[in-house]
Structure 1
Amino acid sequence: MEPPVTHSASLARKTPRDHRVDALRGIALLMMLVDHVPDDLLNRITIRNFGFADAAEIFVMLAGYASYLAYGRLIDREGWKTGIHRILARCVRLYLYQTGMTLIFVWTVRQWRHYQPLPEYTIEPQLAHGYGWLWRILTFDALPSYLNILPLYVVLLALFPLIYWVLKRSLWLLLALSVAIWAIANLDPHITIPNWLDPNGWYLNPFGWQFLYILGILGAVWASKHKGDLPYRRWAKVLCLTYLAGAFILCFPYEYWHVPSLRIFPAPPNTGKSTLAIWRLLDIMAIFYLVQSSTALRRLSADRIGQSLALLGRNSLEVFAFSTVLDLLGRLMFASFGINLWDQVVMNAVGLGLTYALAIPLDRARQRAKAARSPAVPLKPAPASE
């Protein structure tokens, strides 16, 4: 008689962890680190220069993908009460990080101005004096520049129980509702959440960006039915590569690199980020499909280079908050002391080093905590013949 299947044996037969999402999120975090310093030379080689989308789209789509894996499965396994409790705890954590970053942002700029003159764009005028704005920060009524993605994530994650409830009843109903809301937001961009610092409202309009988040959720549902991979289709790969090649030709900064332009017609205006214009949406969907349908990239994400990126993605909140503070310091230093190549090399090297100096111990602590939660798996003695 064969021995019963134990928990440890079932663990051993599990499919190896897919690190592509974590690695891709790590790449997005590194791009955000340089994109948010406008004068940094490295932001000339991030994806926003070679297509319609940028790191923010990657971040939000992966947030939807990870939300399904983390909270959808938790709800199925342990019930709605446990799932909602875990979601609310995460939202509170995101809220505290957002509020803390904003207060650090305002305090740092105010203190810096005591010693060095700064241009007006380093802080919104409404935040430059007094403290009457504080309650607006605490209620997300005031979102400063470069600090608008976590509030979007809080809203979308808080809605996840409702999204998942609709998904359990009809995937197509969820998709239809999401498309309709996204289309309305694009037809009338004034449908958004007010922002005291910007008459146009939240820069990342939740009514538009919810579509990308839900596409991430649906991508996770689809991939879960195929052992974590999106189904490989040659025609889909060719279509995605063709679209990305066209986006590259239209968006490449020919003028900056002083090379002849290959555009046969003008690129779409770079104003579709707020409501997630269709060309940006298709851009990130193509990238996501190519990554999540590639078994070669699955293997690459598990090797040394992939893991060096994945450890950033596994600790995305802490890394994002820390890199946002580094970005602020970089902008202040460039604004106060000017820009030269040596300063940029040093600043990028220090920023990258400090980011990994934070992520490595965080990741080790995360792995230790995960091991402590897992049941001990006794070692099976090797047969005498081995």
Structure 2
Amino acid sequence: MMTTGRDHRIDFFRGLALIFIFWDHIPHNPLAELTVRNFGFSDAAEIFVFLAGYAAVLAYGKIAQRDGFVRAGIKILRRAWVLYVVHIFLLAVLMGIVFFANSHVETRDLVQEMGLQYFLSNPQQALTDELLLRFKPNLMDPLPLYILLLLGLPLVLPLLLRGCAVVVGVSFLVYLTAPYWNLAAQEGGVWFFNPLAWQFLFVLGGAASLWAQRDKAPDLRPLTRQPMFIGAALYLLLTGLLALSWKWPQVHDAIIPLWLGEQLYPISKTNLSPVRLLHFLALAYVAAKLVPHSHWLNLWVARQTCRMGRYSLEVFCLGVVLAPLADMLNALGGDTLAIKLISAVLGVGMMAVLAAWLDWNKQLNATAQ
């Protein structure tokens, strides 16, 4: 039997991931020191992709069960087309903003830092690569990945609903091949987010949404008597201490033996290194156990964050264009701490305002109907 209640924690963590992504994309932003990437091996990208899979299977799975797989597949492909159009438009807007910011910042080459020099040196090929999802300057990588994952969902969704474990197993085997394959990007490069690796996290998110809808007897044992929770918490503690030691190389070299460092590094984000994947899964499991369904979600800050999570595409796109503007504001303001804090908080405020406006507009349209 399936439950249908909405888990607002999912919206909250999607919104939180969007805030973290925005802060992480502003160079030298002091608030970026508070994001999840500083306390372990994974970062907000894993949260974003996992919850994208969770939300997609939750939404389109219900459509498939109610209206059939064909109708669900058409809706998924329509959504992928919208994202493709948004990607092209967003890239054009981003380039315009970066070129504008670069003309006002004399101390740095923002065009080079954002990976847009390729467009200036070879505009015709860059436009072609943009249409083929191969031209991905900084900040633009998550959207092409999501488009590609959605394009595969009409094939995966029926199998996932009928044999979840089999699909997860096949997806894992594909993940294991990721270090040997990737898609081409501009100038002979490859995708920063290798789809063969990150599809596994997307599928795991979808599988988690199906698992969460089942009626299950809760584990009433204290957390200290649940071996999986203890193992996940210990892994988070150890990797968190290790990540903190990166800020002090001498401390890191003292506590990490050479042989262990050779086995551990590099921790690939492109191919979703197993230690990154395991860190995120441990983080998600511990959060699911520790963060309750309770009245804290009714707090004003939590409600704004949840709202951003419900309109993740629009808020993400706004964050992409706000990040270089915040960088420009910081540079023009002398990179003072006050200016950096103002730009980071102001950007999040604008993202929250956009989500509030979209929510109000949606309610207005529902009332009109």
Q: Within 1, Cα distance between the matches of 2:330 and 2:362?
A: 35
Q: 1:171 to 1:357 in 2, by over 3 A?
A: closer
Kept in 2: contact 1:311–1:360 (CA 8 A): yes
Distance 1:368 1:284, change over 3 A: farther
Q: SS state of the match for residue 136, structure 2? A: coil
Counterpart residue number, 1:79: 68
Q: Check conservation: 2:49, 2:201, Cα contact below 8 A.
A: yes
In structure 2, the residue matched to 1:329 is 325
Cα deviation, residue 145, structure 1: 1.6
277-286 vs 15-24, greater mean Cα deviation: 15-24
**2:282 matches 1:286:** yes
Matched residue type, 1:85: I
Question: Aligned equivalents of 1:296 and 1:57: distance in 2?
Answer: 21
User: Among 46, 50, 57, which residue is 2:46 paired with?
Assistant: 57
- In structure 1, the residue matched to 2:307 is 311
Give the distance between the partners of 1:203 and 1:285, measured in 2 at CA. 21
Taking the TM superposition and a 5 Å limit, the aligned residue runs for 1:238-253 are 238-253=230-245
**Is contact 1:291–1:297 with CA below 8 Å preserved after alignment?**
no
Instruction: Answer yes or no: is the 8 Å Cα contact 1:52–1:280 preserved in 2.
Output: yes
Moved more, 362-371 or 302-311: 362-371
- Which residue among 337, 352, 357 is the counterpart of 2:348? 352
Residue 201, structure 1, aligned to residue 190, structure 2: yes
Q: Which residue of 2 aligns with 1:121?
A: 113
Maintained 8 Å contact 2:142/2:193: yes
Amino acid in structure 2 at the alignment position of 1:196 = Q
SS in 1 for 2:155: helix
Contact map agreement 1:229 1:294 (CA 8 A) in 2: no
CA contact (8 A) 2:12 2:302 kept: yes
Q: SS state of the match for residue 292, structure 2?
A: helix
1:138 aligns to 2:137 (yes or no):
no
Residue 169 of structure 2 is matched in structure 1 by 176
Q: CA deviation at 1:122?
A: 3.3
Which residue identity is paired with 2:29? D
The TM-score, its normalising length taken from structure 1, stands at: 0.83
Q: TM-score, normalised by structure 2?
A: 0.87
Is there any run of 5+ residues in structure 2 with no aligned partner, and where? none
Q: 2:255 and 2:356 mapped to 1: Cα distance?
A: 43
- Residue 276 of structure 1 aligns with an amino acid whose one-letter code is L
Q: Which has the higher helix share?
A: 2
- Counterparts of 2:342 and 2:136, CA distance in 1: 30
Deviations 1:291-337 (A, max 9, x none): 33456255533444432210110011111100111101123344566
Q: Bigger shift: 332-341 or 99-108?
A: 332-341
SS at match of 2:184: coil
- Residue 46 of structure 1 corresponds to 35
Of 29, 54, 76, the match for 2:18: 29
Instruction: String of CA shifts for 1:48-106, please: whole Å, max 9, x gaps.
Output: 01000000000000011111110011111111222112112211221122112211122
Query: Is 1:140–1:151's contact at 8 Å kept on the other side of the alignment?
Result: yes
Query: Which SS does the other structure have where 2:241 is aligned?
Result: helix
Partner SS state of residue 202, structure 1: coil
Partner of 1:192: 182
Give 1:248 shift. 0.4
- Please identify the structure whose Cα radius of gyration is greater: 1
For the Cα contact (< 8 Å) 1:61–1:213, is it kept in 2? yes
Report the counterpart of residue 67 of structure 1 in structure 2: 56
Q: For residue 126 of structure 1, what is the amino acid of its counterpart? A: Y
The one-letter code matched in structure 2 to 1:341 is L
Using the aligned pairs only, state the percent identity: 29
| Structure 2 counterpart of 1:223, one-letter code | A
Residue type matched to 2:339 in 1? D
Q: Distance in 1 between matches of 2:191 and 2:28?
A: 24
Check 1:326–1:286 CA distance in 2 against 1; reply closer, same or farther (3 A cut): same
Q: Distance in 1 between matches of 2:220 and 2:269?
A: 29
Aligned equivalent of 2:296: 300
Aligned partners of 2:195 and 2:68: how far apart in 1?
A: 27
Change in 2 beyond 3 A, CA 1:330/1:143: same
Aligned length: 355
CA drift at 1:370 = 5.5
C-alpha deviation, 1:169, in angstroms = 4.0
Separation in 2, partners of 1:331, 1:291: 32
Work out whether residues 142 and 195 of structure 1, in 8 Å CA contact, stay in contact via their aligned partners in 2: yes
> Following the alignment from structure 1 to structure 2, what is the Cα–Cα distance between the partners of residues 108 and 24?
29
Q: What residue is the counterpart of 1:91 in the other structure?
A: 80
